[in-house]
Structure 1
Amino acid sequence: MKKRNLVVLVLISMLFLTAQIAIAKDMTVTDLVSDAKKDICEVSVSEAKALLDGGGYLFLDCRTSKEFKMGHVPGAMNIPRGLLEFKIDKKIPDKATEIVMYCKKGSRGCLATCTLCKMGYKNTKNMDGGWAAWEKAGYPVE
């Protein structure tokens, strides 16, 4: 009887894992970003500018180092998206830090913001439209 129960449990577990893998394989980057947007707070570029002007927010640029060097929000910190999970604890140890995340157009920032939320960062917002929207609005750059 115990052997039969074990076999049934193993089969159910295998079916569940197979279903999870099938779901993951069908997702596109658009799907991943859409899912992430459901779980994060986004601010418009004008709201982000107001947060910068008001002080107290850390602007976190998740573009590559090369993109960052070509121009960024004044005072922003750069942690590329591919290194975020590995460096965030050392660069920003206080998980209550108020953060505005941004990338080039918004998708990497959205995924990065979602990641930070999963890692316990409580006050992280993504700047909708990213760096492109910031530049287009004519806001200051470094």
Structure 2
Amino acid sequence: MNKLKRTSAEMVRAARDRIEEIETADLIARVDDPDVVIVDIRDIRERQRTGAIPGAVHAPRGMVEFWVDPDSPYYKEVFGQSGKTYVFHCASGWRSALTVATLQDMGFEAAHLKEGFSTWADQGGPVEQVEKSD
């Protein structure tokens, strides 16, 4: 096996050192704030299995950079709203940390949910079921 120059854990640590992390309780308190856009980057199967934060935008991890870039043919208007606070999340906070670090490199300001969706329901966060699509 090839030795990696940098492990995924090291990449997550480095990302967390330079991004804003939001605690679960703090995001629960702001879940109805119209100035906060919660972005779920988990795979659709994860969302169907465990539910989702009501009102969260689903942006699959593999498309995020393209969806926030106004010059991309895949750009989504939801990411062009002025004055909004964007908070990205995954299941445990690893993928979202890497995502937010990359977005900051692009010039897109965002934060991420430190512990991800893993502690959301346990701390009283609302959850909606995600229907399976055909």
Q: Report the TM-score range of the alignment, normalised by the length of the smaller protein.
A: 0.7 to 0.9
Higher relative contact order (CA 8 A, sep 6+): 2
- For residue 115 of structure 1, what is the amino acid of its counterpart? T
Question: How far is the alpha carbon of 1:85 from its aligned partner?
Answer: 1.4
* Alignment of structure 1 residues 1-142 onto 2, 5 Å: 25-70=4-49, 71-89=51-69, 90-91=75-76, 92-94=79-81, 97-122=84-109, 124-142=110-128
Gaps of 5+ in 1: 1-24
Question: How far is the alpha carbon of 1:68 from its aligned partner?
Answer: 2.4
Contact 1:96 1:121 (8 Å CA) reproduced: no
- For residue 63 of structure 2, what is the amino acid of its counterpart? L
Structure with larger Rg: 1
C-alpha RMSD over aligned residues: 1.9
TM-score normalised according to structure 1 size = 0.75
Contact 1:97 1:121 (8 Å CA) reproduced: no
TM-score normalised according to structure 2 size = 0.79
Q: Percent identity?
A: 31
Q: Kindly provide the CA deviation profile for residues 29-77 of structure 1, in whole angstroms up to 9, marking residues without a partner as x.
A: 0000011011100010001112213331000001112222341111001
Gaps of 5+ in 2: 70-74, 129-134
Question: How far is the alpha carbon of 1:95 from its aligned partner?
Answer: 6.8
Partners of 1:80 and 1:61 in 2: CA distance: 7
Q: How many residues align?
A: 118
Secondary structure of residue in 2 paired with 1:39: coil
- For residue 102 of structure 1, what is the amino acid of its counterpart? H
Question: How far is the alpha carbon of 1:96 from its aligned partner?
Answer: 5.2
